[in-house]
Amino acid sequence: MLHTRIIDIKNDKISIAKAEKFISSSKFGASIFFTGTVRDVNENKKVTAITYDTHDVLVIKSFEDIYKETDEKLQIKDKAVFIEHTKGYLSLGDISILIAVACKHRDQAYVLSRYIIEEVKKRSPIWKKEHYEDQTTEWLKGKSIIDEKL
C-alpha cells in the first residue's frame, strides 16, 4: 500500500496526521515516521531557507519504483508506505520530506524507512537552493544521473 505526493508549499503542507491515518492498521506492529527538515547551517554557512525544485512526474515515478523494489530487495512485502515531498520556499524547521512506514515488525520498519530515504536522495529529481544570511543563494551540487535509469 503506497501513497505518494508532491506538495506545493504555496497551497498546502505536509501533514503527519494524514500519514498516520494512511499507514495505521492492526496488521502492523511497527511504524516509523521520518521527517527531513530545513536546517540552519550547511558547510559553515548560515542557512535561512531552502527552495526545493522537483520534476514532479519523475519524482513520483522514482517513489513508486523504490517502493516496488523493496518487495524483492528487502523481502518486505506486507507494508504501508506514505511518502510526501514539498516543493517551493521552505523556512527553517519546515518539513521537506515525510516518509511514514508500517510493517509487521520493527526491524523491517527501520530497514524500510532507511532504505527509502537513501534511495530518494540518490535517485529522485529533487534540487535544493539554499538561501543564506547574507542574502546570497546557491544551488547545491548533487549527483549526476547520466547513464542511470530512474
Instruction: Tell me whether residue 54 or residue 108 sits nearer to other proteins (CB atom).
Output: 54
Q: In the complex, what is the shortest distance from the CB of residue 59 to other proteins, in angstroms, rounded to a whole number? A: 8
Cα–Cα distance, 88 to 91 (Å, whole number): 10
Residue with smaller CB distance to other proteins, 28 or 130: 130
CA-nearest of 75, 126, 76, 94 to 16 is 94
Least distance CB 25 / other proteins (angstroms): 26
Nearer to other proteins, 43 or 148 (CB): 148
Name the residues that contact other proteins, by CB under 8 A. 36, 52-55, 57-58, 61, 85, 96-97, 117, 120-121, 123-128, 139-150
Of 35 and 48, CB closest to other proteins: 35
Q: Residue 78 and residue 88: Cα distance in Å, rounded?
A: 33
Beta-bridge partners for 50:
90, 130
Whose cell is 506545493? That residue is: 8
